[in-house]
Amino acid sequence: MKYEVKNFDNKKVGEIQINPEIFSAPLRQDILARMVHWQLAKRRAGTHSTKGISQISGTTRKPWKQKGTGRARAGSLRSPQFRGGATIFGPLPRDHGYKLPKKVRQIALKTALSSKIASGELLIVEDLNAGTTKTKELIQKFKAMGLRSALIIDGAEVNKDFARTAANLPGVDVLPQQGINVYDILRHEHLVLTKAAIDNLESRLK
């Protein structure tokens, strides 16, 4: 299938042939949900922690004798029923990540790319040569192109001048092709791909 290629002056500069198996895949909401949950689980720090009875500082003396007081038995003031005591079955540091099959991850990426084409929110550019290194001028170009929240993907290396110019723009992220991911695609309104990014995606998702 053919798709038009624009420049940052919002002018058509040509067309590119893109693989329909990658950019016109069936929209699988269930696969997208699995992928987003997997990504968010992987990024969790997992540093949450509570103290068990052996980690609570305090006396080890038995608070009162076992029998004859009319009170419930107690062996330590560090037990969970006392204020400042231990926490039972509380969270401990752990890795929240889990495995997701590579095939599912590939289908999710194809689905995310296809959803952007289906909604008219995919823009393909020749490269990231915007013709300016001034953020103010780049903002005007983005306004003319209708870009507010955008994920911009370049080739193996990002155009340094463009990345520096776009660094302070809210809602705009610029990544090399290795960094493209489903969560970032879905949380941005528009997806902007260079021709180098298209070539990489088609070889990666064959």
Q: What average pLDDT does range 138-167 have in this prediction? A: 91
pTM for this prediction: 0.84
Q: What is the tens place of the pLDDT at every residue in 100-139?
A: 999 999 999 999 999 999 999 999 999 898 888 899 999 9
Given a cut of 90, whether residue 1 has pLDDT beyond it is no
The domain ranges of the chain are 2-45+97-204, 50-90
Three-state secondary structure string covering 132-167: CCCHHHHHHHHHHHCCCCEEEECCCCCCHHHHHHHC
Superfamily of domain 2-45+97-204: Ribosomal protein L4/L1 (3.40.1370.10)
Region for residue 146 given its phi and psi (left: phi exceeds 0; alpha: psi -120 to 50; beta: otherwise): left
**Residue-level pLDDT at 63:** 94
Task: Supply the DSSP symbol for 6.
Answer: E
**Residue-level pLDDT at 124:** 94
